[in-house]
Amino acid sequence: MGLVEAIILSVIAASTPLLLAAAGELIVERAGVLNLGVEGMMIMGAACGFAGCWLTGSAFLGALFGIAAGMALAAIFGLMTLTLAVNQVATGLALTILGVGLSGLIGAGFVGERITPAAALYIPYLTGIPFIGRILFGQDGFVYVSIALVIGIWFFLYRTRGGLILRAIGDSHTSAHALGYPVLTVRWMAVLFGGGCAGLAGAFLPLAYTPFFIPGMTAGRGWIALALVVFASWRPGRLVAGAYLFGAVTILQLHAQAFGLGIPSQLMTALPYLATIVVLVLISRTRNAAGSAAPASLGMVFVPDR
């Protein structure tokens, strides 16, 4: 039971940054914007989050630094793609490269430093319950924020007028504009929100997952988060299942090596990314038969009539 509990806790920790980043990207794509710069925003959040915590001694302030870093990079993305109508794919890829390089510059002075990780929740009696106590009542704040974020996104998309407007813009920005909805304003807000979530996801890594910073520590999690949105068919509920599934695959390769199964470590390290490719291929085949669930205006540049 102790081993099972340890594995579940490891899966939750590995899944949290994926869920945070994918939740923000889901809102962005629902608004009709394709942001491929999630990886760059995450690594910037990791560098600035660690720097903020190391300088202030507060994991909470470090998380705010990470959110601000992600939103700053998202603002550049919004300026290029929404205001200047530059190609979204090219801009996202360029920002990923920029984020990786800039985070290495910012974090160079912090490599080798350590911080006190974010404290886990402790509720007397409840946290001490065998097996389920630590799983349900002993996580750090990032885990609970990720779940609350998904619930809030579901409520916003399907139970509020603002969510209906955002989905309408993602499905047909021309029709939404004709009805008088501020397409660019809504997309700006969605892009900044997605950048903040990506920055928070990146900050989770040095603030709670590992109490130190190394360049490139996101290790492709931003790309997995992008695939998760497609895996979830742009629906918040499925996003949770997908994030925890991919988190389990990530942890599986670590435990397989620990058990000495004789599988090459390089193959096990590539397993989460191979799983991502397989899932995307299967989903693509299904969609070709049943129709795409993607927002109809996803990735299309919008220039309002003048």
> Which CATH number fits the domain that encloses residue 53?
1.10.3470
| 88 inside domain | yes
Specify the pTM. 0.92
| 300 inside domain | no
Regarding predicted confidence, which is higher, 250 or 170?
A: 170
Maximum mean pLDDT: which of 4-8, 181-185, 215-219: 181-185
Cα distance between residue 42 and residue 107, in whole Å: 13
C-alpha dist (Å) from residue 5 to 8, 12, 77, 133, 239? 5, 11, 41, 10, 23
Residues 6+ apart with CB under 8 A from 106: 44, 47, 48, 51
| 10 inside domain | yes
**Taking 60 as the threshold, does the pLDDT of residue 290 lie above it?**
no
Percent of the chain with pLDDT over 90: 64
Q: How confident is the model at residue 283 (pLDDT cuts 50, 70, 90)?
A: low
What does the angle CA 131 – CA 134 – CA 136 come to, to the nearest 5 degrees?
Answer: 95
Total count of domains within the chain: 1
- As a whole number, the mean pLDDT across the chain is 89
| Residue 292, pLDDT score | 61
| 121 inside domain | yes
| Residue 3, pLDDT score | 79
Structure-block tokens of residue 246: 């991919």
Structure-block tokens of residue 268: 């096990």
| 301 inside domain | no
Q: How confident is the model at residue 247 (pLDDT cuts 50, 70, 90)?
A: confident
- The residue segments making up the domain with residue 187 are 2-290
| 182 inside domain | yes
Cα distance between residue 62 and residue 47, in whole Å: 10
**Taking 90 as the threshold, does the pLDDT of residue 258 lie above it?**
no
DSSP class of residue 129 equals S
For the stretch 35-85, pLDDT in tens is 999 999 999 999 999 999 999 999 999 999 999 999 999 999 999 999 999
| 223 inside domain | yes
Cα distance between residue 18 and residue 275, in whole Å: 14
Cα distance between residue 148 and residue 11, in whole Å: 18
